[in-house]
Structure 1
Amino acid sequence: MPARAQQPQFAVRNLHLPKELAYYDNQFSGLAASADQLYLLSESRLQDKAEAKLYAVRLADLDRQLADTAYVLPYQKVPIAGLPALRARMAAAGQRYEGLEAMLLVQDVVYLSVETDTPSPLCYLLRGQLRANAVVLDTTFLLPLAKPLAPDGSHIYNAGFEALAAANKQVMAFFEYNSFPGQNSVYELASNPLSSASAPGKLPLAPLPFRITDVTATGKNRFTALNYFFKGGGGDAVYRPPASDLPNARLILDQGGYKSYARLLTIELKDNQLTWQPLWEFPEPYWGYNWEGIAAYRGGYFVINDKYTPSRPYQTTLLYLQPAK
């Protein structure tokens, strides 16, 4: 699989967010474009007293700001109801909630993935309804997703199901780490019927370096994914490709050591398996942002970071990757 992305096809447009949305501790972890809105998912770290919420911004208002940078974006806060009760159920099962990591909208049905701390063996899929002024979670629905294990039986550091997508009436859950020495796979679940007792199937995925941090649909059985590498050591070192993997090692190493890196991938579902190829590299000044959300729009993409930027002060950064004419 080629490691080096193609030449840039997008112009990077930086959108100016209102103060409430730009606040770094929203820690946005997902994006979704649906109907006439762009939805921004907060990680909703209840353990840090954070509010469970989305924000909604009209796509027409984003278009207007792209044409007129002085335009101030209107927005709506959308509370998420029912999350504390579901967190309590996770705790009762011995699993430690850390936050919401991915969002999938299928008409008015909302799917959310929950990341747990590294020692917890399970993550979770939640389901709710998108209403005019709130997301109302079904507190009877709590579907466990077992984390894939390293060959020695340990859990991958800080890894959960960072992306959700839909294909062929299935909900797909992408694990963050996909460099296992054996078969890598994506969970698939029939969306109808779907219950807390549903057992996921597995779609083979070609081994993939670094992290998958979000996925957006771009056509029938075609998706674009964020592929991000953080240069840090410690537990994060598990995401470093082996030195023998020269094509990928070259992307994240220079004379000074490891460097962060970000690109887009194209993922295709065909013959019940998933393949990928590089699509586009972010310009180097944007490699140090922890890109967590992506939503396809008019041939380009909105992308958002959680809070981490190359330097302090941290803040939310929303970009539109505008297709080249």
Structure 2
Amino acid sequence: MNDAEPLIARIPADIARPDKIAYGLTARQLAILAVTGGIAASTYYAFRQLVPVVVIAAVALPLVALGSALALGRRDGLPLDRFALAAVLFLRSPKKVVAAPDGIASPPVWCRLRGQLPGPLSLPVRAVRSDGALELADGGTAVLVETSTLSFHLRTADEQASLVGAFGRWLNSLDACAQILLRARPVDLAGLVEALERRAEHLSHPALARAAAEHAAFLSQLNRSRDLLVRQVLIVIRDMHPPRGRRSIARDASAAVVLRRAAETQRALAALGLTANVLDADEASRVLTECLDPGGWHPTRAALPDELITGLEAR
């Protein structure tokens, strides 16, 4: 038995944490405190000869408290100044949005408008190609790779070191942006239960049929009694700088680049014992639909505009 020590590396949860410049504060916090202090000092020197100090303090102290709260406070994992900026942008943004690539047309002059017009819906993905590549709104392309998981803690120290080395080689081979997304989505076992019950009737031995029926009953009870979730691991590989030229040729070239990188990722993760699958157009569309409407019911796949919908698919 190998008693080698396992590899342990402590990584902070917030890997994008800004550097602390002085007194345990970041440059953003120091800038907010400096601006707040400058405004308070300017107020004092400008009005000290005109109004009593108590009045100046009554005006300056709330300003200093507000600046200190914005610089040092946090809310929902965000610095309070960024949280306040996001709140202001949310309040100013339209609450109703519609799919309008050409913009929202203004109503005619004779129409009396009540309320505000809806805003255009801005999505990061402009189109899903037939090969599975995503055409992004900013001009780039991306592809989704779904991968399985493995149990790291059940491996020996040598196996863990081998897995870490293989994963590190894949990370070092990346020459573009990549994102690892972990999703937990609801799952319905009704189809699996129905398949088990249907196949149990055709099993050759009565004991096998009885075991299959009991397993189907257990899955059915589990499906009714709990909200089941399944974990999905997605790797998003993106081409940040698509080639210039004709738009159609540039899109095809950029899609070919991300698909090649996805195939390389698929081969690299196979060394870890992971099963990776590059999502095609239907699977990528389904993932995007579930991300935009989490928890909702979605059919198996979306039909194309000129595709016939049969009764089985509609059900």
Q: Same fold (TM over 0.5)?
A: no
Q: Which structure carries more helix by proportion?
A: 2
- Larger-gyration structure (1/2): 2
Q: Which structure carries more strand by proportion?
A: 1
Question: Could you state the TM-score of these two structures normalised by the residue count of structure 2?
Answer: 0.23
